């Protein structure tokens, strides 16, 4: 599999309850594993279903060594491409085209995108978004909206039909399904504690996060408490 970029984490935290054993692949971006972070309060903001009194758990490896997490932050990194090719060889992924539509969000003054597996689906979504813009009135920087390249075609990967039949819990989102396939591949090497996405902190939207693989949880200890490190760098 070659050398992969590793992020070392002596301590990570989980917010929520640990009394519900995970016996199957979970419907989440972290797949079959325990979601962790260094800033659980940021995730209390992001995940609305969390209650104010949901506990925070501090996790650390029982042997005293820092946890080794494969860095999956950059979707265009060479090592992710390398992993995807291995997944293709093992019959887990196949090449595909992904159609991305872009629109301008004048409330947050930023561009938003959504990806689709077919051009027809993307065009239908784009037409609805542009119709909504016309109904509420054009934003002040209308010129930017008109000049925006609405369509992007991306060479990507998606799970094979055989792998989808094996893991019916795949979300249907190309990007999420690809990540969960790579997690499946990495976990079965038994070399790493988990994976990490070093995303920038954006209030109520995203923050750095990771996952401890299910087959490595027995090597970790945990106790209820407060997280000693804060990953809020964005």
Assigned token pair, 138: 């054009």
pLDDT at residue 143, rounded to an integer:
45
Among 103, 135, 156, residue at a domain's last position: 156
pLDDT digits (tens, 9 = 90+) for 200-209: 888 878 889 9
The answer to whether residue 185 sits within a structural domain is no
* 19 vs 120, residue with greater confidence: 120
| Residue 98 covered by a domain | yes
Cα dihedral 180, 186, 189, 192, rounded to 10, equals -130
* Domain shared by 111 and 65, yes or no: no
Tell which of 156, 178, 199 closes a domain.
156
pLDDT one-digit tens code per residue, 176-198: 788 888 999 999 999 999 999 99
Q: Looking at the structure, tell me whether residues 15 and 65 fall in a common domain.
A: yes
Whether pLDDT at 24 is above 50: no
Mean pLDDT of 221-229: 86
Angle 34-71-39 (CA atoms, 0-180°, nearest 5)?
A: 50
Q: Is the pTM of this model over 0.85?
A: no
Residue 178 counted as domain residue: no
Dmax of the chain from CA atoms? 60
66 belongs to a structural domain: yes
* Mean pLDDT taken over the chain: 80
Does 101 reside within a domain?
yes
CA distance 104 to 114: 12
- Enclosing domain of residue 47: 6-75+191-224
Whether the predicted pLDDT of 22 surpasses 50: no
Question: What pLDDT, on the 0 to 100 scale, is given for residue 145?
Answer: 45
The predicted structure's pLDDT at residue 97? 85
- Residue 65 counted as domain residue: yes
Give the total number of structural domains in the chain: 2
CB atoms within 10 A of CB 123: 15
In a domain, 163, yes or no: no
């Amino acid at each position: 599999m070659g050398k992969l970029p590793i992020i070392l984490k002596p301590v990570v935290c989980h917010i929520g309850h640990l009394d519900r054993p995970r016996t199957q692949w979970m419907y989440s971006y972290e797949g079959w594993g325990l979601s962790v972070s260094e800033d659980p309060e940021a995730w209390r903001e992001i995940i609305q279903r969390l209650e104010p009194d949901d506990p925070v758990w501090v996790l650390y490896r029982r042997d005293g060594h820092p946890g080794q997490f494969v860095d999956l932050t950059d979707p265009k990194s060479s090592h992710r491409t390398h992993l995807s090719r291995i997944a293709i060889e093992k019959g887990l992924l196949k090449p595909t085209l992904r159609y991305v539509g872009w629109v301008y969000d004048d409330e947050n003054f930023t561009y938003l995108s959504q990806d689709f597996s077919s051009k027809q689906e993307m065009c239908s979504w784009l037409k609805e978004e542009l119709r909504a813009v016309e109904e509420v009135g054009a934003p002040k920087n209308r010129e930017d909206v008109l000049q925006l390249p609405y369509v992007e075609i991306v060479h990507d990967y998606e799970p094979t039909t055989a792998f989808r039949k094996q893991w019916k819990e795949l979300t249907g989102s190309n990007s999420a399904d690809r990540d969960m396939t790579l997690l499946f591949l990495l976990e079965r090497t038994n070399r790493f504690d988990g994976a990490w996405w070093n995303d920038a902190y954006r209030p109520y939207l995203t923050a750095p996060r990771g996952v401890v693989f299910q087959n490595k949880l027995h090597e970790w200890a945990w106790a209820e408490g407060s997280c000693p490190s804060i990953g809020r760098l964005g």
